[in-house]
Structure 1
Amino acid sequence: MWGTIVNVIAIIGGSLLGVLGGNFLREETKDTVSKGVALGVIFIGMQMAFETQHLIVMLISLVLGAVTGETIGIEKYLNKAAQALEKKMKRKEEGKGGLAEGFVTATLIYCVGAMAIMGSLQSGLTGEHTILYAKSVLDGVISIVLASTLGIGVALSALPVLLYQGSIALLAGWISPLIIQEAITEMKATGGLLIVAIGLNMLNIVQIRVGNMLPAVVYAILFTTLVVKFGLGI
């Protein structure tokens, strides 16, 4: 849970900074800082990916994960759910002005995405919070930018983030004793490549549908368990 708590603090802190002085930051500064964070995200993802002990398993997991995700249309459903939530919340908060807009916009940005899911899984399964720490820096920067225009409502999005990411982390922690250590390592390595993809998307180098590749982490756990159990040399 510690990674999620840090994320919440970053959102609140960034929002306060944005309300108090975010307008003094030039757009060029905001853009450069965001790209710097993206480079850090890529580096963290590469570090995680290099921990793999079963490269073939990781590659197969990515391929099958992408096929599964594209077939199901995970990212499409995530976007539809986000749009439906946005419409519902805006109708509910109609007439309350920028407070609701800041809350809704920030909640969708922070919760709908592969980084929130992967970070929470890593936190719960391994007790490491690297991804959520990186997400905290990113969300903090975004909070400054959003709060400078949408106001303090952005800070209120910290509560949904706490509930959403905290629930995933607690669930992952509950099932972690059932998963062998080698499988957790490969899940982490496979997730690392997805984090690299997120960083590349942030830099607008490519646009990868990372959400559709999320099943890869499940395949990594399953295949690694089989490889270890049957002593396969891959």
Structure 2
Amino acid sequence: MALFGTIVNGICIIIGSLIGLFFTNIPEKYKETVMQGIGLVVILIGLQMALSTEAIIVVLLSLLTGAIVGEFIHLEEGLNRLGNWIGRKFTASTDDISVAQGFITASLVFVIGALSVIGALDGGLRGDHEVLITKGVIDGFVALVLTTTLGFGVIFSVVPVVLYQGSIALLATQINQWIPEEMLNGLIGELTAVGGLMIVAIGFNLLKVIEIRVGNLLPSVLTVGIVYYIYLLF
């Protein structure tokens, strides 16, 4: 079953988020310090991922083209509206911004990364779900911590996680007929690097060092495939 690992991952996020809801009433100063700790760890994770690149020009061009697409279609605004709509529909709180931030931040943290791609590919190509199950356990604990500081919106990140990883897993059942394994491995490396820089941006946002419109950079995870293919041609 190609989707087994993805389903387990989603369940872990839901469980972690629900547990985290019991700890949302801790004093604000604790939340602030915990959030700063999370931000520092997120930056570290992002840097480790970003350093996996073997072609920095691919990362640069992918982010540039992705940013142009994201700004043109106002992707960040759309994601915020979605988060606000979720806040109005599923919570009694008037703090829609908090719900949107929790949804977007958690979605990006859980979706972008080598484990998402590699785990989904393993599930689709070989029926091996160990990577995604391991990721699910990690995501569950991260969801717990994020929920204590960002609130109820975190739990809705399970939707893009399942859709993203599930799509990759299903495509992976046929992908070896389209893309040579060597090219696929290189693409995963560059995708991981691009995603890593977006994770770093999330960390800066959590630390409130600078406000980066990470949502508008999301198309980079798609444009990296085109940029990498052109790079190989030359």
TM-score, length basis structure 1: 0.73
Deviation per residue, 1:55-81 (Å, 9 max, x gap):
011011111111111111101111223
- Structure 2 residue runs of 5 or longer lacking an equivalent are 1-5, 120-130
Matched, 1:79 2:77: no
**Counterpart for residue 183 of structure 1:** 187
Aligned residue for 1:139? 143
Structure 1 residue runs without a partner (length 5+): 91-99, 148-153
Q: Name the counterpart of 2:126.
A: none
Task: Pick the aligned partner of 1:13 from 8, 19, 37.
Answer: 19
- Report whether the alignment pairs 1:220 with 2:211: no
Aligned length: 205
Aligned pair in 2 of structure 1 residues 142, 51: CA closer, same or farther (>3 Å)? closer
Q: Displacement, 1:120?
A: 2.8
Q: What is the CA–CA distance in structure 1 between the aligned matches of 2:30 and 2:109, rounded to whole Å?
A: 28
Question: TM-score when scaled to structure 2?
Answer: 0.73
What is the match of residue 101 of structure 1? Answer: 92
2:212 maps to 208
**What is the distance in 2 between the residues matched to 1:53 and 1:146?**
35
1:96-135 matches, within 5 Å, as: 100-101=91-92, 108-113=100-105, 115-117=106-108, 119-120=110-111, 122=113, 123-127=115-119
Please give the alpha-carbon distance, in whole angstroms, between the structure 2 residues aligned to 1:132 and 1:44: 16
CA RMSD across the alignment:
3.1
Code of the residue aligned with 2:53 in structure 1: it is T
Greater alpha carbon shift after TM alignment, 51-60 vs 168-177: 168-177
Letter in 1 for 2:104: V
Q: Deviations over 1:136-165 (max 9, x none)?
A: 555323433577xxxxxx49x74x443442
State the percentage of identical aligned residues: 28
Q: Distance in 2 between matches of 1:59 and 1:132?
A: 30
Query: Kindly tell me: are residues 107 and 26 of structure 1, through their superposed partners in 2, closer, same or farther at Cα, counting changes over 3 Å?
Result: closer
